[in-house]
Structure 1
Amino acid sequence: MERLHARYPFLDASRAAVGAADVDLAELVAENGPAVERGHERVRRALLEGTTAPEEPRLWSTRAELLSYPIARVLVSLLDVPGATEKYAAAEATTARERFVEDFEADLELKSAAGDRLTLEELLADFDLSGGVDPVGDGRFALDVTAYLELAAGLDGTEWRLAGRPLSDGTVRVSRPELYTLLREAVAGKVAEGLPLSVPEGIAEPLSTELASIRRAIAELDPPLSFEAVAPGLFPPCMRALLSRIRDGETLSDHSLFSLVSFLLATGLDESEVIDLCSLSEGAAEMVQGQIARLRDEETTVAAPPSCAVMDEYGDCVDKDDLCETIRHPLSYYETRLRRTPEDRITDWRQ
């Protein structure tokens, strides 16, 4: 295991180093050693501070730093909190960008790379971009247009729209800082790949203390998701089905009513809007008002809706689509659908 692997644990070479070390993950978490402690810090800082860099780098050996990455991925998978995977991946990518910019700029100044530094060529090769990025002088690069569209898809701002950039022989010109930002997006995608993991009980149980600690930490934060629009057509299938049933006059079970009402409140609706959206009769409206009252405490905090696993246990997980297979919470589904839908195709029900 090398320092380079520990600094960039998402690289193919880093994962190969872990494999070559023949580390048993179950044994590693059972030991509850430095790698577990660092993995816990990695996730906590990602969700609370937007970085995965250690608070005190000198505390951790190269082995602990590298092995903390698979443990962090396990912890994020076990959290079952909307938006946690995306925020963790973004934090890993932000930290990676800081590190590879430092390495690349040092490489430019010294004209050669030390063994523990990453080169731009190595990172491009890891993302299969070696033939798709060419320097064109003056600190700019010609990037394959297909790669550009994929990497810029999640970036906000009109400057990233292809329509505002000249095309030349199937390539897009980008500056060095822009290339670094696009590579950050590539890192985020690679980190998020495969998450959430299916974690065996033998690995999950020894991590219960770390998991509880992270849950307590993020419970003090503001709600992780906020939505600018309420678009019922983009709700997850389970919530669309519950909404359809209650609109048809069906009396929902207590747990199904809780699931629907808590979800609608989490999207940004107030009490009267929930009643209007559900097209409730006077009697049904009173029942929902009572449900809302029970969902709020003295500080008007809304209880979070159930996760997908709980919805499945309730028997309300229905009509699953491809996106359902990749998320663990109805709010994560809704957030993803809103993000992927063009703004001009989103109609806010409240309007």
Structure 2
Amino acid sequence: MDAYHARYPFLDAARDAVANADVDLGSLVRTNNAVVERGRERVIRALTEGTVESDRHVSSRTELLSYPIARMLVSLLDTPGAVEKYAAVEATTARTRIDEELMTRTDRQTDQSFSLETVLAELGLDGDVQRLDRQKRHETVSYRVSVDRYLQFAPGEAGWSLVQRELTAGSVFVSQSELLEILGKAIETRVLDGLPFVVPPEIAEPLRPTVREIRTQLVGIEYPDVIDRFEPDAFPACIATLLQRSGDDELGQVERFTLITFLSGIGQTPETIPEICGIDDEQFVYATERLAGQAVPFSPPSFDTMRAHGICEEDHSDYDHPLEAYAAELSDVSTDSE
């Protein structure tokens, strides 16, 4: 079990590593608190913060084994939209990691396991994706993807329609960043495969307390389901600060998740959110589509979670959640204007 398996636990190589280690999951959930805790963290952070990354150092073995535990936990959770959200975040995190690998990879890199070709092969896409000679084509076009796979995994947003793409001999030309978006959708499909599933009783029972803990962290927040007014002056100060910074500074992952999900929670769409934030970065646009384009949108984190990440320093003793505070401020504005 190495760092490559831990970073991409949904791939066949990682599954084989777990199988070859002869791990008894029943025994694991009863005796290995570190793996169960990391699985719990993986699910909680996916559903509340838009990432499965940990803030602390985790061994490759614990990180890899936390993935099957997280799949069991999200299956046992039985919460509407949880499985879809979890899979989307696993895919977004993996896509970000692949992007980082491609940007930072050097000949001196110690872990030589990673290559884009390896990931494509593991996902069964190696025969459908061909790298092009950039000298023969426009600099921004570096791959071609078979039409079948393109139609299967390409986003449904504007600009991805076949009528708007260059099509030759049954293949569609895409840039590397576009290929990563396609790859992200393929990874999401892989993660979703088999979820949710029936967890055997001998494994489910020891996990019940952890499932109850996750449910406790996900419930208890009361705020309107739909807020259809956009009034920046009524934003909580911490949200207003994030929005003000967004056009000039690179937001951290939790900051980005907070801002996108808050704006989505007040009725903004994947198309309008980048415009409001003044960001046209491809990773931000991709994150917006994944977080705000869901049938069951992600909820923004609570004020407590935001404080824990240093995003919010204000006293919000009257409210637990930024949407709740925003709705109350809108009510006050409406009352004052009458």
Q: Shift of the alpha carbon at 1:105? A: 2.2
Aligned match of 2:91? 93
SS of aligned partner of 2:159: helix
Distance in 2 (alpha carbons) for counterparts of 1:131 and 1:75: 34
**One-letter code of the match for 1:115?**
D
For the pair 1:143 / 2:119, whether they are aligned, the reply is no
- Indicate the residue corresponding to 2:37 in structure 1: 37
Partner of 2:168: 168
Aligned to 1:191: 191
CA contact (8 A) 1:74 1:199 kept: yes
Instruction: State the secondary structure of the residue aligned to 1:134.
Output: strand
Shift in CA distance, 189/221, structure 1 to aligned 2, threshold 3 Å: farther
Q: Deviations over 1:77-120 (max 9, x none)?
A: 0011111111000110111011111112233xx36864355211
Relative to the length of structure 1, the TM-score reads 0.60
Q: Deviations over 1:158-215 (max 9, x none)?
A: 1122221121111111111111111011111100100111111111111112101110
Distance 1:222 1:133 in 2: 46
Percent of counterpart pairs with the same letter?
47
CA distance 1:223–1:45, change in 2 (3 Å): farther
Residue 19 of structure 1 and its aligned partner are, at CA, apart by 0.1
Gaps spanning 5+ residues in structure 1: where? 229-334, 337-351
**Which is further off, 217-226 or 25-34?**
217-226
Structure 2 counterpart of 1:307: none
Per the TM alignment, residue 61 of structure 1 is displaced from its structure 2 partner at its CA by 1.1
* Letter matched to residue 4 of structure 1: Y
Provide the rounded CA distance (Å) in 2 between the counterparts of 1:196 and 1:93. 16
SS of corresponding position for 2:130: strand
Counterpart in 2 of 1:203?
A: 203
What is the TM-score of this pair, normalised by structure 2? 0.62
1:127–1:142: structure 2 CA closer, same or farther, 3 Å change rule? same
Alignment of 1:45-56 (within 5 A): 45-56=45-56
Question: Partner of 2:102: helix, strand, or coil?
Answer: helix
Preserved contact between residue 83 and residue 224 of structure 1 (Cα < 8 Å): no
- Aligned partner of 2:232 in structure 1 is none
Alignment partner, residue 59 of structure 2: 61
- CA–CA separation in structure 1 for the residues paired with 2:223 and 2:199: 26
Structure 1 residues 204 and 61 mapped into 2: Cα distance closer, same or farther (>3 Å)? same
Please give the root-mean-square deviation of Cα atoms over the aligned residues, in Å: 2.2
Higher Rg of the two aligned structures:
1
Q: 1:159 to 1:126 in 2, by over 3 A?
A: same
- Count of paired positions: 223
The whole-number CA distance in structure 1 between the counterparts of 2:59 and 2:74 is 22
Shift of residue 130, structure 1, vs aligned partner? 1.3
Deviations 1:236-292 (A, max 9, x none): xxxxxxxxxxxxxxxxxxxxxxxxxxxxxxxxxxxxxxxxxxxxxxxxxxxxxxxxx
Please give the alpha-carbon distance, in whole angstroms, between the structure 2 residues aligned to 1:168 and 1:160. Answer: 16
For residues 225 and 173 of structure 2, what CA distance do their matches in structure 1 show? 35
1:265 aligned residue: none
Give the letter aligned to residue 71 of structure 1.
Answer: I
Q: Is 1:70 paired with 2:68?
A: yes
Query: Structure 2 CA distance, aligned partners of 1:2 and 1:29?
Result: 21
Contact 1:77 1:198 in 2 (8 A): yes
Contact 1:103 1:117 in 2 (8 A): no
Determine the structure 2 residue equivalent to 1:212.
212
